[in-house]
């Protein structure tokens, strides 16, 4: 019985802070609550991207090297494809198909 009384009094203290039930406070407060949640999530995502994203402090340098090698290989393959089209070795339709395959 004591637990129920304690739980009901604790719920009364926190029912309006900061995310009260339903539309308590009107639509403007509801919109502000969602904006606040979005701001907090964006801040968390930004910090994680800054720390672990490309060039981040805690990112493994091997990942950046692998990505650079992959970009270089795709660029070279695209140049070869462009040259083959210019020499007339492949048709424009074949060029389009192969280019789409490279971009995947």
Buried b / exposed e across 49-66, counting CB within 10 Å, b at 16+?
eeeeeeeeeeeeeeeeee
In this prediction the pTM is 0.50
pLDDT of amino acid 34? 86
> Which range (6-10, 36-40, 50-54) has the least confidence?
6-10
- Residue extents of the structural domains in the chain: 25-58, 60-104
In order, the DSSP letters of 36-90 are: HHHHHHHHHHHHHHHHHSTT-TTS-HHHHHHHHHHHHHHHHHHHHHHHHHHHTSS
Which pLDDT band, with edges at 50, 70 and 90, does 39 fall under? very high
Which pLDDT band, with edges at 50, 70 and 90, does 41 fall under? very high
Per-residue pLDDT, averaged over 46-64, amounts to 85
């Amino acid at each position: 019985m004591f637990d129920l009384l304690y739980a009901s009094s604790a719920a009364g203290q926190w029912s309006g802070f900061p995310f009260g039930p339903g539309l308590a406070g009107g639509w403007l407060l509801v919109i502000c609550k969602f904006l606040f949640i979005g701001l907090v999530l964006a801040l968390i995502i930004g910090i994680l991207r800054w720390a672990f994203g490309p060039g981040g402090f805690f990112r493994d340098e091997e990942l950046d090297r692998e990505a650079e090698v992959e970009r270089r290989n795709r660029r070279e393959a695209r140049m070869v494809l462009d040259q083959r089209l210019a020499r007339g070795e492949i048709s424009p339709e074949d060029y389009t198909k192969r280019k789409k395959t490279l971009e995947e």
